[in-house]
Amino acid sequence: MKFKALLVLLVACILTGCGALGQASPTPLPTVVLGNNNGAAVPQAGTGSNLGGVTASGIVVPALEAQIASAQAGTLAAVNVAVGDQVKAGQVLVKLAGSEKLAAAIESANLELLSVQQALKTLKDNVSQARSAAQLRLADAQKALDDAQKRRTWKQYRNGSQSDIDAAQADLVLANDALKQAEDAFSQLAGRSETDVLRAGALSALSAARKARERSLANLNYLLALPNVIDVNQAEAELRSAQTEVENAQKEYDKLKDGPDPDALALAEEHIKNAQAQVAAGQAALADLELKAPFDGTVSQVNLHTGEWTVPGQPVLALADLANLRVETTDLSERDVPRVAIGQPVTVLIKALNQDVNGHVSHISPLADTLGGDVVYKTTIALDKLPPGLRPGMTVEVQFIGQ
């Protein structure tokens, strides 16, 4: 067509003397445009037609596309689908090896969780018994402190009371008198033979009197004396120990008087949280071994197969929603995008089908792309209906209808 137009123009130039200057310019040839299935010409971008004057090229794309990849490395135990298979949302597409090991870890974590939950229950159930034990401990500690305080107080005075001292002094007087009498009696018999019975009796009585007098004197001296440093220090240490025990027993009872020990309760609850986290982590890892379809669609690509190794993020297969197709423009100029709005009606010429389809603008990209040095904005077109034979990748021309 272009060759014929050029040939006609060349012949006209020769016949009219196109080399002459100052003559009027020839009338320009009309712009060649694509026709639609109705035989009508499609206006070009920027022509200012009654349809809005904005056109753009585009391509048919699936409404949803997904690259299915694993979150962990491993061997593919099973790839359950092939290219072209129709799948449902939630359907298991791929399984990785290692489920047995993870299942065992989850079972262990569940057992630990059960154990710490039981420990918490026991802690709560035994609070009354623990509170009673703490109360008894506090009472015993207070009694021991009272005794220790008395013993320490006694160490500030003589070992005996005044009445004990008076009695000891009287015992010493009697012991001295008994000793003198025994000495007098023995002195009268001292000259006799050592085997004399009377002399032996007097000597035995004298010995007993001397021992009795020594005991009385020692007892009086003890009662009159103050405690020594070692005794005082021991009493002081016993008093401090008793005070510390009362403080500890009081703290224990205070913790339990209103319920379980807060520290023990918090620790038990943290153990439960940790066990629950271990169970959840194991379940998540087990779930990651199964790659499921995120939506209803068609398997469009399979990159790996059973027995092969995959790494995190590596696409194993691709899934596309071919039941819901839309159009994305590729060359809408920055000069034309201000004349396009969300909801604006459009006419889409599907070249491969030579068919027009109505639709509307559902999205305009807020960011620009570049195409051959030009700034362009991608828009998304929702089609009112999908004609038979429409496939992803087909090229289209989009006419934006003026408002």
**Tens digit of pLDDT per residue, the chain (403 long)?**
333 333 333 333 333 333 333 333 333 333 333 333 333 333 333 333 334 579 999 999 999 999 999 998 999 999 999 999 999 999 999 999 998 999 999 999 999 999 999 988 888 887 788 888 888 888 999 999 999 898 887 766 666 777 888 898 999 999 999 999 999 998 998 888 888 999 999 999 999 999 999 999 998 888 877 777 787 888 889 999 999 999 998 888 888 777 787 888 889 889 999 999 999 999 999 998 999 999 999 999 999 999 999 999 999 999 999 999 999 999 999 999 999 999 999 999 999 999 999 999 999 999 999 998 899 999 999 999 999 999 999 999 999 998 6
The secondary structure of 168-207, three-state, reads HHHHHHHHHHHHHHHHHHHHHHCCCCCCCHHHHHHHHHHH
Question: What is residue 157's predicted lDDT score, i.e. its pLDDT?
Answer: 64
Give the Å distances, CA to CA, from 2 to 10, 36, 40, 41, 43: 12, 20, 20, 17, 19
Give the span between the Cα atoms of 211 and 182, in whole angstroms: 12
Q: Is 276 exposed, middle or buried (0-12, 13-18, 19+ CB in 10 A)?
A: middle
Question: What is residue 141's predicted lDDT score, i.e. its pLDDT?
Answer: 92
What SS3 class is residue 151? helix
Q: DSSP characters for 20-45?
A: -SSPPPPPPPPPP--B-TTSPBPPPT
> Is the separation of the CB atoms in 384 and 357 below 8 Å?
yes
Task: Say what the pTM is.
Answer: 0.51
Among 306, 331, 334, residue whose Cα is nearest residue 397:
331
Which tokens is 140 given? 């015993």
Question: What is residue 68's predicted lDDT score, i.e. its pLDDT?
Answer: 94
Number of H helices, E strands in the chain: 7, 16
Among 346, 298, 345, residue whose Cα is nearest residue 320:
298
> Is the separation of the CB atoms in 97 and 75 below 8 Å?
yes
Question: What is residue 158's predicted lDDT score, i.e. its pLDDT?
Answer: 64
Give the span between the Cα atoms of 52 and 74, in whole angstroms: 55
Give the span between the Cα atoms of 115 and 113, in whole angstroms: 5
Question: What is residue 5's predicted lDDT score, i.e. its pLDDT?
Answer: 35
Cβ atoms < 10 Å from Cβ of 376: 21
Question: What is residue 46's predicted lDDT score, i.e. its pLDDT?
Answer: 36
For 240, the enclosing helix (H) or strand (E) is helix 229-256
Cβ atoms < 10 Å from Cβ of 103: 13
Give the span between the Cα atoms of 47 and 49, in whole angstroms: 6
Question: What is residue 403's predicted lDDT score, i.e. its pLDDT?
Answer: 60
Among 319, 297, 296, 292, residue whose Cα is nearest residue 70:
292
Domains in the chain, please, with CATH?
34-63+324-400 (2.40.30.170), 66-97+289-319 (2.40.50.100), 127-256 (1.10.287)
